[in-house]
Amino acid sequence: MSRSRLYGVETVIDLHDCDGAAISSEPRLREYLVQIVAALDMVPYGEPIVARFGFNAEHTAGYSVVQLIETSSITGHFSESLRSAHLNIFSCKPYDSDAAFEFTREFFGAPGGTKRVLRRVGAPASVEARV
């Protein structure tokens, strides 16, 4: 039996009671993306996408962000009415998930939150890839 190899790590971050000004400001969200990429020693791929939408329901109204990095992506969704932030940092390059959580929590002024770390594995070499 062959073993699967680690493909990458995904950190799932949920924050509550965020600084409302930080999560509802396009310039601040762009600044976060620049700073988290640098803090984790990643390389951005292209410009970030920052869009405000979701106005069909109060809790979904807010910004969403995407920053591709050469080893995957950083995405986030922000609820202005709930003052919450929901981010995913996925990379095939190793990084410190604790540092990513603390940096993000401090940047958005959240007193607390949760972090889950997922180890993503690739198929063993003996398994045929299917599309």
pTM, two decimal places: 0.88
- pLDDT digits 0-9 by tens, 52-69: 999 898 898 999 999 999
The answer to whether residue 126 is domain-embedded is: no
Domain count, the chain: 1
Q: What is the CATH number of the domain that holds 28?
A: 3.60.90.10
Query: What backbone phi and psi angles, to 5 degrees, belong to 38?
Result: -65, -45
Residue 130 domain-assigned? no
Task: Express each pLDDT in 17-31 by its tens digit.
Answer: 999 999 999 999 999
131 domain residue, yes or no: no
SS3 content of the chain, % helix, strand, coil (to 5): 25, 40, 35
- The whole-number pLDDT of residue 83 equals 97
Residues spanned by the domain of 79: 5-118
Positions in the chain whose pLDDT score sits under 70: 1-3, 123-131
- 59 located within any domain: yes
| 129 belongs to a structural domain | no
Element counts in the chain: helices (H) and strands (E) = 3, 6
Q: Is residue 68 part of a domain?
A: yes
Residue 125 maps to a domain? no
What 3-state class would DSSP assign to 82?
coil
